[in-house]
Amino acid sequence: MPELPEVETVRRGLAPVLEGARIVRADIRRANLRWPFPPNMAARLQGARVIALRRRSKYLLGDLDTGESLLIHLGMSGRILIATAGAAHVPPGKHDHVVLDLMGGARITYNDPRRFGAMDLMPTEAAPTHRLLAGLGPEPLGNGLNTPYLADKLAGRRTSIKAALLDQRIIAGLGNIYVCEALYRAGIAPQRAAGSLSAAEVDTLVPLIRRVLDEAISAGGSSLRDYRQADGNLGYFQHAFRVYGREGEACVTPGCAGIIQRIVQSGRSTFYCPRCQS
């Protein structure tokens, strides 16, 4: 499933085409994805102008001049494709479920073979209380994530630091790949109790979370299985993984003789170096 860097990469690819554009035709080609589409979705989108395209956690939000916002979640295999103005528009394919034609000739297509994605429409002012967004923690790239905040949230917790960082109520948008990579860089073992981290360790961890995410966004995300950028290209941060997916390989830290190990925590694969992380 796309994580924060992949969703942010898609947002950045879509924004120049969508922001300020008017939707002249909305073709909703099935009744549902993971859940049913909202009532009269095509009519509510048609004629609307996209004021802004933003991201909250792993969700895209398109704010419309109608006072509503379109929420999009890519799920396991969702992709948003752009056909720019002047490009030939081929007929929608089997897995092209939502097609938006924009004034000026561009076309935006939501493609999702597994249909685990989701779309919804809501009043823009009510977005923070939407069932998928309410209760989310601060964005990891924003000022809301800082050492005092995270230290307070981790204090006294017996759950593992890996599980705590994946808790969307603590930090919004962090996923399995980037938690593994951030903990490796911070030298913190993923099995450690969250409440056992010292203030110094938390102070080290916070900027490393941001750095890993920033590097991944700059690389266009990580292409594992179905992920593509909005322009159809692959992301390539997976080539910079230091631990994720590298079970049995040598640790990349100079002078470390450790071998990357894989364990399962809460049903998710965790990769780490037993020598570098303690």
Active site residue 139: no
Q: Do residues 208 and 182 touch, judged by C-beta distance below 8 A? A: yes
**Right CATH number for 147-272 from 3.40.710.10, 1.20.120.80, 1.10.10.10, 1.10.8.50?**
1.10.8.50
Per-residue pLDDT of the chain (278 residues; tens, 9 = 90+): 678 888 998 898 899 999 999 999 999 999 999 999 999 999 999 999 999 999 999 999 999 999 999 999 999 888 888 888 877 778 889 999 999 999 999 999 999 999 999 999 999 999 999 999 999 999 999 999 999 999 999 999 999 999 999 999 999 999 999 999 999 999 999 999 999 999 999 999 999 999 999 988 887 654 334 434 455 444 434 446 889 988 999 999 999 999 999 999 989 999 999 999 99
Active site residue 58: yes
Active site residue 3: yes
Could you give the 3-state DSSP secondary structure of residue 64?
strand
State pTM to two decimals.
0.89
Where, residue-wise, is CATH 1.10.8.50 in the chain?
A: 147-272
CATH of span 4-129: 3.20.190.10
- Residue corresponding to tokens 């998928």: 132
d(CA 99, CA 106): 11
Active site residue: 44, 115, 157, 268, which one? 268
At 17 the pLDDT is 92
Could you give the 3-state DSSP secondary structure of residue 62?
strand
At 229 the pLDDT is 42
Kindly calculate the radius of gyration of the chain based on its CA atoms and give it in whole angstroms. 20
Active site residue: 11, 55, 56, 58, which one? 58
- Residue corresponding to tokens 């991201």: 55
At 228 the pLDDT is 43
At 224 the pLDDT is 38
- 73, with CB counted inside 10 A (0-12, 13-18, 19+), is buried
Q: What share of the chain is helix, strand, coil (3-state, %, to 5)?
A: 30, 25, 50
At 90 the pLDDT is 83
d(CA 65, CA 266): 42
At 219 the pLDDT is 75
Where, residue-wise, is CATH 3.20.190.10 in the chain?
A: 4-129
Active site residue 22: no
